């Protein structure tokens, strides 16, 4: 939950600030959210965030009467609620309809190079990369675009990459009613590239394997497909 000091400003916990850089892993499979997360409508959230962001800009010394900056607080607020953090709202969860596997396909189904855009929850900097997901059908299959939508839904929230990888895998298992699932993410974090060490070109790889993907041969088949070049 958010705590507020007597003057109405958010309370500060300086002892936690530096720990985030060394304790990168979250101990929860879910994005930490307080119990009042859905008390406000999206419109109410946009209005409140716009006011707060205007305060931040004022503190930074920016002139909000300038034509270029006047609309920035509302633009940022709408971006947060309607775009980059829309995955926080369960109402935006994609419907993943499954179909009968009439053709009795029993090999790997791989959707690779899914564009991934998320946000680091420690510094609110972008995470940009690709996700590769796979499953082995049983008696059900899913439309391929739904795999992309599942990745998109869980990415569009404040995240750590490790949690994101597990969330996508868990959702695939729930949707497809199988443990035979693999998720592989390769992403660049601007909190590493644009601040701190400023190491451009660094990327982070995370993977989650379950069911038959724990078998080394099946895992190898998946990884070979992920890293193979597209034909010209």
Please give the tally of structural domains in the chain: 2
Q: Are residues 105 and 80 part of one domain?
A: no
Find the mean pLDDT for residues 204-209: 96
On whether both 136 and 162 belong to a single domain, the answer is: yes
Same domain for 72 and 147, yes or no, is: no
Identify the domain containing residue 60 by its residue range. Answer: 35-84
Mean pLDDT of 33-61: 96
- Asked if pLDDT for residue 6 goes beyond 50, the answer is no
Taking only the tens place, the pLDDT of each residue in 137-189 is 999 899 989 999 999 999 999 999 999 999 999 999 999 999 999 999 999 98
Q: Is 222 found in the same domain as 141?
A: yes
pLDDT greater than 70 at residue 4: no
Confidence of residue 2 (pLDDT cuts 50, 70, 90): very low
CB 32 within 8 A of CB 64: no
* 77 and 130 housed in the same domain: no
Mean pLDDT calculated for residue range 84-98: 93
Looking up residue 195, the CATH number of its domain turns out to be 3.30.1130.10
**Residues designated catalytic:** 120-123, 161, 189, 191
- Listed as own residue / partner, the contacts of 60-66 with beta carbons closer than 8 Å and 24 or more positions apart are none
197 and 220 assigned to the same domain: yes
The pLDDT score that the predictor gives to residue 232 is 64
Residues 117 and 206 in one domain: yes
| Three-state DSSP class for residue 186 | strand
Whether 4 is in a domain gets the answer no
pTM assigned to the model: 0.84
Answer with the residue of higher pLDDT: 184 or 2: 184
Residues with Cβ within 8 Å of 35's Cβ and at least 6 positions away in sequence, in order, are 1
Mean pLDDT value across residues 83-102: 93
> Which helix (DSSP H) or strand (DSSP E) does residue 151 occupy?
helix 144-155
Asked if 65 and 134 sit in the same domain, the reply is no
């Amino acid at each position: 939950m958010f705590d507020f000091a007597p003057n109405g400003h958010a309370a500060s916990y300086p002892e936690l600030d530096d720990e985030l850089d060394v304790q990168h892993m979250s101990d929860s499979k879910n994005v930490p959210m307080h119990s009042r997360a859905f008390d406000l409508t999206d419109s109410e959230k946009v209005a409140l965030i716009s006011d707060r962001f205007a305060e931040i800009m004022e503190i930074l010394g920016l002139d909000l009467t300038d034509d270029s900056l006047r609309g920035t607080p509302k633009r940022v607020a709408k971006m947060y609620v309607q775009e980059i953090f829309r995955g926080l709202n369960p109402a935006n969860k994609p419907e993943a309809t499954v179909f009968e596997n009439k053709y009795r396909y029993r090999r790997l189904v791989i959707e690779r190079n899914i564009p991934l855009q998320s946000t680091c929850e420690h510094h609110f900097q972008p995470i940009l990369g690709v996700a590769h997901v796979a499953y082995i059908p049983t008696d059900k299959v899913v439309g391929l675009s739904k795999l992309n939508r599942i990745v998109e839904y869980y990415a569009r929230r404040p995240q750590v990459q490790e949690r994101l990888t597990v969330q996508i895998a868990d959702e695939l298992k729930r949707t497809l009613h199988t443990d035979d699932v693999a998720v592989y993410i390769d992403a660049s974090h601007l909190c590493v590239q644009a601040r701190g060490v400023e190491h451009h070109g660094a990327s982070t790889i995370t993977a989650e394997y379950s069911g038959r993907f724990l078998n080394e041969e099946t895992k190898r088949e998946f990884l070979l497909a992920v890293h193979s070049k597209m034909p010209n």
